[in-house]
Amino acid sequence: MPAGRVEIARSWGAVRERFHDELNFAIADGALEGWATGTPFRVPDALTVVEQLRSHPEARISRGIPGDALDVSETDCFADAFRAEPLETVVRQPFALAHFHLSVFDRPGGCLEGFGEQVLRPWKDALAQAGFTYDRCYPIIFVSGPGAATNYHTDHSHVVAWQWSGSKRFCSLREPSRWAGREARLSGQLERPPALRDADTLMMAMTPGDVLFNKLLTPHWVQALGEEVAVSLNISHGGLRLDGEVCRNESELEQQRDGRPAVQSARY
């Protein structure tokens, strides 16, 4: 049995209906009133993103080698070479490049100029209108070279992933709790189970303009496809509540934190 396809939400109502289950889902282009991928923001060229991000000291640079478990460890010699080699050379190899403080690029001449006002603020406003609140909401950018992978793992946040360039195969599970029980979800120490088969997975081939809602603490893995650099803009949400209520997985996180209050992010 082949991998299944993720379901598609075509309205804020559909997003609300899916919030409390544990399956990831796609968001149809233009489906969300108050926010859409057709904002005035001009998506930057992938090579411009690579050049500006790799030059910044806070960029996270790793090899992106496919495997059974997440490895984002940075090797100094690889990162140094990645920063120093000609751009046309580094973008032909597997690599994983990420940055978590994007406001430094939202400036005149920056690759994300206008992003805060034209994308992030409308998104936050649209969330509020749909009945969502959050403790933190900030953008992250991920860039993958040809053949690079983000291996089997979970995220401690809900992530809305918007593909900007290139293509990726995003894989998740039909029954997340079957493969990652409470302790495994919370520890984040996961390896892809040897028994996992295509029939147990859900897949989405993400191409420019595609948007995916990835649920907090659900196992997933991502593979860059083709020979192009793949860039995605991810909006991370912590303490996300619908009509005042968090989902089950986030309730588990809150219990693990012994009721410590969440801190409002100032990353952007």
What's the pLDDT at 36? 64
Is 4-256 CATH 2.60.120.650?
A: yes
C-alpha distances in Å from residue 261, one per residue of 132, 136, 264 = 18, 12, 9
pLDDT of 37 strictly over 70: no
Contacts 24+ apart (CB under 8 A), 106-114: 106/268, 110/52, 111/44, 111/48, 111/49, 111/52, 111/53, 112/44, 112/141, 114/40, 114/41, 114/42
Least confident segment among 10-14, 221-225, 241-245, 264-268: 264-268
Q: Distance between CA atoms of 91 and 207, rounded to whole angstroms?
A: 18
pLDDT of 155 strictly over 70: yes
Q: 73-111 b/e with 16+ CB inside 10 Å = b?
A: eeeeeebeebeeeeeeebbeebbbbbbeebbebbeeebb
If you average pLDDT over every residue of the chain, what do you get? 90
pLDDT tens across 52-95, in order?
A: 999 999 999 999 988 877 776 667 789 999 999 999 999 999 99
Residues in the chain: 268
Whether the full predicted model's pTM is greater than 0.75, yes or no, is yes
What residue spans define the domains of the chain? 4-256
The pLDDT > 90 percentage for the chain reads 76
pLDDT tens across 227-249, in order?
A: 999 999 999 999 999 999 999 99
pLDDT of 132 strictly over 60: yes
What's the pLDDT at 130? 95
pLDDT of 268 strictly over 90: no
